[in-house]
Amino acid sequence: MADQLLEQVRDLVDGQIDFEGQRLAEILATLLLSIVGAVSFLVGFFLQDISLALKIGLGGTALTFLVIVPPWPFFNQHPVKWLPVGGSSIPGGHQNIIIDEKTLVER
Amino acid sequence: MYNSLTRIQNVFGFFTTVAFVVGAIIAASDFTAPRTPSASIKPTNVQVVKGRPHYYSSKREEYAIIKFSLDADLSSLFTWNTKQLFVYVTAEWPAPPSGAADGTNQTNKAVIWDTIITSPSSDHLANIGPATLKKLRKSAAGKSIDPSRGKLSLKNQRPKYQITHPSGKVANTEDVTLHVHYNVQPWVGMLTWNQDVDFALWKQMARGISKVFQLPAIKKKDEAKGK
């Protein structure tokens, strides 16, 4: 039972996401950080306050980490469809496997 | 981006890029703010005394003590990107041409006084104790920049440093002038000093150099000979 819990924790920390999720993560990260950079400069420039610009920049970056790094469900909307194990779903198909010059016939 | 670790690495990598670009834009934005510094300085009391470099030294040298009055308006140098303003006053005099190799275009320069003026955003970095810090913060009244700190008005200011020449003699030197300099230390960007030429919106310092004066003879104990 503890093993299963540990397995779940490991999966969470590992944080694997599917390919569509990875694409989304890349786009989101770039977009969010660019917006954070632009906003922090504009706010700082027009309010003439550099410590405010720094706070917005660091806060926005922390927010971006929170959105991108954990394996949220919306990153796993398109799981990969793996083919079933064995490969014997193809009718009448022979697969000749040759190892060390001896042909083994797959049934 | 397939697991948490790679996402952390990628996001952090892009974050450093964004931080660098924003820093560069902030530094460039300094050029949009005009700089119009001005100052007027004059020596009020000049003395030359005999002394030693330090207590145990056997060398005896002449030192010039130049008190001055300074009125400056350096408020335009304070922008959101200004961390500190370093202001210093130098005494300069030309070296007489020496021997065969004529055309020695040398100027003797020595700093007699300097000060650091912090912007409110860097008050916590100033070399002051907690009580003075509180007073300083209060004087800024919650503003993010305080250009009024750039207005200086010193009367008969005692110099920080007594100056001499490597030869040990400075009495009766001719053509001495006092020059006011500043150095803007930004949060991000290049260090900049007072300019010799105008550069777009950044102007030279108006005035900033005193009239010519002379260093007197060594002050004698009887006041009659002293200047």
Partner B contacted by A80 (CB < 8 A): no
Q: What is the mean pLDDT of residues A38-60?
A: 95
Of the ranges A97-106, B140-149, B211-220, the best mean pLDDT one: B140-149
Over residues B10-65, the pLDDT tens digits come to 999 999 999 999 999 999 999 999 998 989 998 999 989 999 989 999 889 999 99
- Measure Cα distances from B179 to A6, B31, B48, B90 in Å: 73, 25, 19, 5
Phi and psi angles of residue B172, each rounded to the nearest 5 degrees, phi first: 60, 30
Cβ of B136: how many Cβ atoms within 10 Å?
17
| pLDDT for res A59 | 96
* Cα angle for residues B140, B145, B146 (degrees, 5° grid): 50
Is A50–B26 a contact, with Cβ atoms under 8 angstroms apart? yes
Helix (H) or strand (E) holding A24: helix A19-47
- Measured CA to CA, the distance from residue B87 to residue B209 in angstroms comes to 14
Contact B180, B70 (CB under 8 A): yes
Size of interface A-B (CB pairs under 8 A): 79
Q: What is the mean pLDDT of residues B95-123?
A: 83
Cβ of B150: how many Cβ atoms within 10 Å?
20
Percent of chain A with pLDDT over 70: 83
- For residue A105, pLDDT beyond 80: no
Sign of CA dihedral B92, B75, B145, B184: negative
Contact B48, B148 (CB under 8 A): no
* Two tokens, residue A67: 């959105």
Question: A27-31, B16-20, B125-129: which has the minimum mean pLDDT?
Answer: B125-129
| Binding-face residues of A in 10-69 toward B, CB within 8 A | 13-17, 22, 25-26, 29-30, 33-34, 36-37, 40-41, 44-45, 47-53, 57, 61, 64-65, 68-69
Q: Choose among B3, B5, B12, B20: nearest CA to A64.
A: B12
| pLDDT for res B66 | 92
| pLDDT for res B211 | 74
CA distance A82 to chain B (A): 17
- Measured CA to CA, the distance from residue B51 to residue B60 in angstroms comes to 6
Is B22–A37 a contact, with Cβ atoms under 8 angstroms apart? yes
| pLDDT for res B181 | 92
Percent of chain A with pLDDT over 90: 55
Partner A contacted by B144 (CB < 8 A): yes
Question: B87-91, B153-157, B187-191, B213-217: which has the minimum mean pLDDT?
Answer: B213-217
Q: Choose among B140, B20, B127, B33: nearest CA to B82.
A: B33
Single pTM value for the model: 0.80
DSSP code at position B218: B
Q: What is the mean pLDDT of residues B177-197?
A: 91
| pLDDT for res B83 | 94
A86 confidence band (pLDDT: 50, 70, 90): confident
Alpha-carbon Rg for chain B in angstroms: 23
- Measured CA to CA, the distance from residue B173 to residue B95 in angstroms comes to 10
